[in-house]
Structure 1
Amino acid sequence: MLKKLFVFMIGLVLPLVFLASCSGKEEVASEKTSSKQDRELEISIMMHFDGIEFPQKGNDVEKAIEEYTNTKLDIQAAPGATFSEKLPAVIASGDMPMVIGMNQYREPYMINAFRGDLFWEIGPYLDQFPNLSSINPVIFDNISTDGKTYGLPRMRPLARDVYTYRKDWLDNLGMKEPETVEEFYEMLHAFTYNDPDQNGKDDTYGMTVEKEGLINRFAPLFGAPNGWDEKDGEFIHTTSTPEYLDGLKFFKKLYDDGLITEDFAVIERSQWEEAFSLGKAGVWPDTSNSIVRMYNRIREHDPNAELGAFSLLEGPHGKRVPAGGGHNGIFVFPKSSIKTEEELLQVLGFFEKLQEEPMHTLFKWGIEGKHYDLVDGKPVLNEGADLHNEVILPYTLPLGIVPAETNALEGELSPLEKLELELPIENESFAIHNPATRLISDTQAEKGPQLNTIISDANIKFIMGQLDEKGWKKEIEKWRSSGGDKMGEEYAAEYAKLEK
């Protein structure tokens, strides 16, 4: 009887011991997993920085990013020119950080690096990240190499060209904002000859122009392709179309009639902007994100100045605006420093968290109590806070993926701030895309700058009357025979491969 009781008791105790043992192991395993998840992820990032001096390590903004994303950041930031010089050597060395932000992804050495499997193809993983996968697929297409996605784009609007103008001048003249090419010409003519600033002096002109930048706007407006056009697999360059010449002739008319910058072929960007900010020119063609910045600048010289902006004009072929790539460079992820898929997913997770509301609010407004305060639940910038140098330049611009205003807390927007957001959206329906953006041409990589110079010089000489139409067409034939036609053939071959 005692023996049976002993066996019965053992039968009861052993399972309990076993369960306790398993429970202990599960707790240890759970602690290990939790510890792994809670551990800070160390991320090294190399990127360019367009400010004067990158903030010291441990500043409030960087600490806020690290705390929210559970990371320890090692940021190597360099000015654009220095960064571009260093990058090829860094890629060639194989000793790369975990993340590189760059604009040079179409350079031959980068194309070879992608094809040589030095960087992760991230396309297959993006559907795991709702914020990153929400990016317009056109943008991912534009940054692809051989149809594969190797980078995260630093998004910006696909079509962001606008014309910022002196609204007070237009009001003085009793004119309305132009809606057609003809009305645009009349506006520039009045800004030049009708004393729009009412100072009794002949000291203004229509539009400040830098080199031939407006050709890229006017040619599509007059019906030309945006760079290249694809028809039945053949690639046709914009300069081969009569519509391009129509746009060039319109530019020449503006020049001949004295409505644009006389020395447009040689002025620097600073002079181009200054002509508008100092009240010499009435229109400044730039991008949508520059409107408020220019308003703040111009009010320093003229507190009574008022600005307006528009983007679309009705031309001979309707409303058309050239589209860009929709990004300002990409982030790539070297396999030499990110060894496994698990590590890659963690790094992509960091960028996913950067798109959430607290980080977008940080990128848009800075640190609460330092850069802004909440007033009735809305962020209001503090006077004297250096948001631009402490947040925007070092973090928002170089680290941003989805634009910060997408998920950030909303503040009270001025009419011009609303315009900055609305005009690119309005443009998208009329955007003319360049089908060659995603394609690779060896000729473009090798001779692109030289070939572009042939067209640029021919355009400038035509506008200034140093070449007639026949002479201009002869220069375009020179461009074609020097590599332009070959470039089109290479784009067509690449296009055929991707379409299969």
Structure 2
Amino acid sequence: MPEMKVRRKIGLSIVLMIVLATVLIGCSNKEEASGNQEGQAGSDSNGEVSIMMHFDGLEFPKKDNEVEKAIEEYTDTKLDISAAPGATVAEKLPAVVASGDMPDIIGSSWFREPYMVNAFRGDVFWEIGPYLDQFPNLSSIDPIIYENISIDGKIYGLPRVRPIARDVYIYRKDWLDNLGMKEPKTVDEFYDMLDAFTNKDPDQNGKDDTYGMTVEGQALINRFAPLFGAPNGWGEENGKFFHAATTKEYLDGLDFFKKLYDDKLITQDFAVIERSQWEEAFSTGKAGVWPDTSNAVVRMYNRIKETNPDVELGVFSLLEGPQGKRVPAGSGHNGIFVFPKSSVKTEKELLDLLGFFEKLQEEPMHTLFEWGIEGMHYELVDGKPVPIEGSDLHNEVILPYQLPLGIVPAEVNALKGELTPLETKELEIPKENEPFAIHNPAVNLISDTQSEKGSQLNTIIEDANTKYIMGEIDADEWKEQIKNWRSSGGDQIAEEYAKEYKK
């Protein structure tokens, strides 16, 4: 009984709304037809597929554009896409789920929020795990990623796959060449690179106007901690869980960050800088290193060369730290697609929708996502796609369709074009990182305390880190704040993770 009470600790209003929605749709959900993949995809007899998803571009393309029509023709569907910025979707989704009036498909990066977990446990969404072996492309996804998105050991959604270990450092190779230096292989060499970018006029303009690395918020601390031997977020030993910030190695990583700050090798306003400013510091030649993910390398290169055609970029990831090469692993996804039983009423309709996503992973659709429309975005030259200069692949294809709708990365099955060394590196680094990836054992575990108080508890650690880095508190005072985090709910989260893990 106590455990059931813990699980039900979410806002009363949300509980009531979801329970009501579950009761209203419960009867219809029990009706299932024999499953097959023939016929049109979607819940409606006319093949219409309604999708709610987030889109973080400037403006979603108008209905019946050439890209959307190509998708509809190949998949034999009529798409009804409701796309909005991520923040808007996050705000609307609780009410949509509670109402029971949902589209056929919902793309959600918030599937571990209490209202979603309650909906999964309340049979509001289809469990799709038992059907995946019927779809070769969907079942080819790394089992670790499916495990990472599971709820109570069950798979309810299709992941938007991303490389598991894709953290990289993008840098000005032309600056490094000017200084006669080589790409760093160790933490010490990395420090020397940032010091030279700050103090040795790497752009050779005779001015003291550059610095080592542009940094945003807490993200880089979460990289340095595993590099120095700390767990990636959480650690587990003999069934017991402990947060990285409770380890000596985490403080070692924090000390390295503090040294970079004290020596003015990184952004001095890292705690308040916006993402746009963080990127701009690198794109405009103020900072020599930009830490991001592997898929950003070519995009940033194309951005800089518009105003600086002679720019040269390099990229690396693995560094040798005190405990060897270590890189934090991500979850391997950017949200999932789920299928509500209120709109997808039968097993056949579910299979049709899974078949829709299966077809999106086939060569013609991956080529569309990767290269666009032939004659509009690319031309075939000797059987290989070549981009058409001036076409807007990014805003017409990648942002509205490839990123939010893609499951398996488009480059996997798309036609292969001629790759530049930088494009090749962008694809190779995540694969090179995998043997050294440090996984978070709590990534697929559910803690009610984390759901309810996680944000405010994280703020305790983040504020302590910022104050320590900026010299406002010393190491002993920082440790007192970590004790405060533990007593305020951190230890409770660890216990709840341990119970879930034991199951």
Relative to the length of structure 1, the TM-score reads 0.91
Distance 1:54 1:35 in 2: 31
Distance 2:370 2:286 in 1: 33
Secondary structure of 2:212 counterpart: strand
The one-letter amino acid paired with 1:59 is: N
Please report how far the alpha carbon of residue 40 of structure 1 lies from its aligned counterpart in structure 2 after TM superposition: 5.3
Corresponding position: 1:125 with 2:131: yes
Corresponding position: 1:85 with 2:75: no
Distance 2:430 2:488 in 1: 36
Given that 1:228 and 1:236 are in contact with CA atoms closer than 8 Å, whether structure 2 keeps it comes out as: yes
Secondary structure of 2:306 counterpart: helix
Q: Please, which runs of 5 or more residues in structure 1 have no aligned partner? A: 1-32
What corresponds to 1:304 in structure 2? Answer: 310
What corresponds to 1:75 in structure 2? Answer: 81
What corresponds to 1:272 in structure 2? Answer: 278
What corresponds to 2:425 in structure 1? Answer: 419
Secondary structure of 1:236 counterpart: strand
What corresponds to 1:22 in structure 2? Answer: none
Distance 2:38 2:55 in 1: 35
Distance 2:38 2:223 in 1: 56
Distance 2:462 2:120 in 1: 31
Alignment match of 1:249 (pick from 241, 249, 255): 255
Given that 1:356 and 1:407 are in contact with CA atoms closer than 8 Å, whether structure 2 keeps it comes out as: yes
Alignment of structure 1 residues 41-120 onto 2, 5 Å: 41-120=47-126
Given that 2:37 and 2:348 are in contact with CA atoms closer than 8 Å, whether structure 1 keeps it comes out as: no
The one-letter amino acid paired with 2:219 is: G
Distance 1:407 1:496 in 2: 39
Distance 1:52 1:246 in 2: 41
What corresponds to 1:293 in structure 2? Answer: 299
The one-letter amino acid paired with 1:459 is: N
Distance 1:274 1:185 in 2: 22
Secondary structure of 1:342 counterpart: helix
Distance 2:50 2:454 in 1: 33
Please report how far the alpha carbon of residue 228 of structure 1 lies from its aligned counterpart in structure 2 after TM superposition: 0.5
Please report how far the alpha carbon of residue 34 of structure 1 lies from its aligned counterpart in structure 2 after TM superposition: 12
The one-letter amino acid paired with 1:455 is: I
Given that 2:37 and 2:352 are in contact with CA atoms closer than 8 Å, whether structure 1 keeps it comes out as: no
Distance 1:232 1:84 in 2: 36
What corresponds to 2:442 in structure 1? Answer: 436
Q: How many residues align?
A: 465
The one-letter amino acid paired with 1:332 is: V
Classify 1:188/1:34 alpha carbon distance in 2 versus 1 (closer, same or farther; 3 Å): closer
Distance 1:253 1:310 in 2: 21
Classify 1:440/1:275 alpha carbon distance in 2 versus 1 (closer, same or farther; 3 Å): same
What corresponds to 2:185 in structure 1? Answer: 179
Please report how far the alpha carbon of residue 35 of structure 1 lies from its aligned counterpart in structure 2 after TM superposition: 9.9
Relative to the length of structure 2, the TM-score reads 0.91
Distance 1:40 1:296 in 2: 42
Alignment of structure 1 residues 331-350 onto 2, 5 Å: 331-350=337-356
Given that 2:230 and 2:244 are in contact with CA atoms closer than 8 Å, whether structure 1 keeps it comes out as: yes
The one-letter amino acid paired with 2:362 is: E
Alignment match of 1:491 (pick from 488, 497, 503): 497
What corresponds to 2:230 in structure 1? Answer: 224
Secondary structure of 1:282 counterpart: strand
Cα RMSD over matched residues? 1.4
The one-letter amino acid paired with 1:419 is: K
**Mean alpha-carbon deviation: is it higher for 362-371 or for 52-61?**
52-61
Please report how far the alpha carbon of residue 36 of structure 1 lies from its aligned counterpart in structure 2 after TM superposition: 5.1
Please report how far the alpha carbon of residue 275 of structure 1 lies from its aligned counterpart in structure 2 after TM superposition: 0.9
The one-letter amino acid paired with 2:201 is: D
Please report how far the alpha carbon of residue 385 of structure 1 lies from its aligned counterpart in structure 2 after TM superposition: 1.1
Classify 1:305/1:34 alpha carbon distance in 2 versus 1 (closer, same or farther; 3 Å): closer
Given that 1:325 and 1:437 are in contact with CA atoms closer than 8 Å, whether structure 2 keeps it comes out as: yes
Higher alpha-carbon Rg: 1
The one-letter amino acid paired with 1:237 is: H
What corresponds to 2:203 in structure 1? Answer: 197
Alignment match of 1:208 (pick from 210, 214, 226): 214
Alignment match of 1:406 (pick from 400, 405, 412): 412
Please report how far the alpha carbon of residue 390 of structure 1 lies from its aligned counterpart in structure 2 after TM superposition: 1.2
Please report how far the alpha carbon of residue 42 of structure 1 lies from its aligned counterpart in structure 2 after TM superposition: 2.0
Given that 1:40 and 1:70 are in contact with CA atoms closer than 8 Å, whether structure 2 keeps it comes out as: no
Distance 2:408 2:276 in 1: 29
Secondary structure of 1:301 counterpart: coil
Given that 1:49 and 1:78 are in contact with CA atoms closer than 8 Å, whether structure 2 keeps it comes out as: yes
Given that 1:288 and 1:423 are in contact with CA atoms closer than 8 Å, whether structure 2 keeps it comes out as: yes
What corresponds to 1:327 in structure 2? Answer: 333
Given that 1:47 and 1:78 are in contact with CA atoms closer than 8 Å, whether structure 2 keeps it comes out as: yes
Distance 1:482 1:336 in 2: 39
Alignment match of 1:169 (pick from 162, 167, 175): 175
Aligned residues: percent identity? 77
Secondary structure of 2:219 counterpart: coil
Secondary structure of 1:345 counterpart: helix
Given that 2:40 and 2:47 are in contact with CA atoms closer than 8 Å, whether structure 1 keeps it comes out as: no
What corresponds to 2:357 in structure 1? Answer: 351
Classify 1:208/1:174 alpha carbon distance in 2 versus 1 (closer, same or farther; 3 Å): same
Deviations 1:372-404 (A, max 9, x none): 110111001111111111111111111100000
Given that 1:155 and 1:328 are in contact with CA atoms closer than 8 Å, whether structure 2 keeps it comes out as: yes
Given that 2:54 and 2:107 are in contact with CA atoms closer than 8 Å, whether structure 1 keeps it comes out as: yes
What corresponds to 1:465 in structure 2? Answer: 471
Please report how far the alpha carbon of residue 83 of structure 1 lies from its aligned counterpart in structure 2 after TM superposition: 1.3
Alignment of structure 1 residues 446-461 onto 2, 5 Å: 446-461=452-467
What corresponds to 2:160 in structure 1? Answer: 154
Deviations 1:326-368 (A, max 9, x none): 0010000001111111111111011001000000001111111
Given that 2:174 and 2:312 are in contact with CA atoms closer than 8 Å, whether structure 1 keeps it comes out as: yes
What corresponds to 2:20 in structure 1? Answer: none
Classify 1:442/1:34 alpha carbon distance in 2 versus 1 (closer, same or farther; 3 Å): closer
Deviations 1:151-203 (A, max 9, x none): 00000000110000010111111110000001001111111111111111111
Distance 1:77 1:34 in 2: 27
Distance 1:34 1:244 in 2: 50
Secondary structure of 2:159 counterpart: strand
Distance 1:41 1:301 in 2: 47
Please report how far the alpha carbon of residue 299 of structure 1 lies from its aligned counterpart in structure 2 after TM superposition: 1.7
Deviations 1:10-46 (A, max 9, x none): xxxxxxxxxxxxxxxxxxxxxxx99956975221111
Distance 1:127 1:333 in 2: 17
Q: Please, which runs of 5 or more residues in structure 2 have no aligned partner? A: 1-35
Please report how far the alpha carbon of residue 415 of structure 1 lies from its aligned counterpart in structure 2 after TM superposition: 1.0
